[in-house]
Amino acid sequence: MRILKSYGTQGGVIVSTAYAPEDIKTSEPVFIYFDELPVPFFIEEFKPKGTSKAFLKLEDIDSLEAADEIVGKDLFFGNENSDDDEKLSGLEIYDYATKKLVGTVIDYVDIPSNPCLDVLLPNNETILIPCHEDLIKKIDNKKGSIYIDIPKGLV
């Protein structure tokens, strides 16, 4: 699906779709790529408009401005981005506040409502770090690094 335009002032968008309404599972996240990193969003509302378009309302997209920021982007369902999960493996995670290396991504874990990055720490322990757009502050594709606002007490 591709986001065609914003619709209304509450964050709704119009999408092009070839999916039948019954194929859309609102209990599973859709992903939008920001700086080549999949960011999950949950569907609040999906209403077909004709045969190839639909109204879509995503959680956390609550204003016209936020909707305008995602216009032109593609949406992917969890099963569509499995090859892209491998692209995350090997990226280095840095604490945005301290700029210190936290660890290396070894996997993307698709936990319903809370997708996470499985990160190998320098001491060979692993932790799960939430993969949410509010926490991801910077992605440097050339250096293979992600700067995340690490929640206090996690590391």
Mean pLDDT of all residues in the chain?
83
Check pLDDT > 60 for residue 83.
Answer: no
144 or 69, which is more confident: 69
Beta strands at 12-16 and 53-58: parallel, antiparallel or unpaired: antiparallel
pLDDT digits 0-9 by tens, 96-126: 999 999 999 888 887 777 888 889 999 988 8
Check pLDDT > 50 for residue 82.
Answer: no
∠ at Cα 138 (132, 143), nearest 5°? 120
pTM for this predicted structure: 0.52
Predicted local confidence at residue 136, as pLDDT: 85
CATH numbers and ranges of domains, the chain? 2-80 (2.40.30.60), 83-148 (2.30.30.240)
60 neighbors 70 (Cβ within 8 angstroms): no
Confidence at 87, pLDDT banded by 50, 70, 90: low
Beta strands at 101-109 and 12-16: parallel, antiparallel or unpaired: unpaired
Check pLDDT > 80 for residue 84.
Answer: no
Averaged pLDDT, 30-37:
80
The span from the CA of 99 to the CA of 93, in Å, is 9
Predicted local confidence at residue 81, as pLDDT: 45
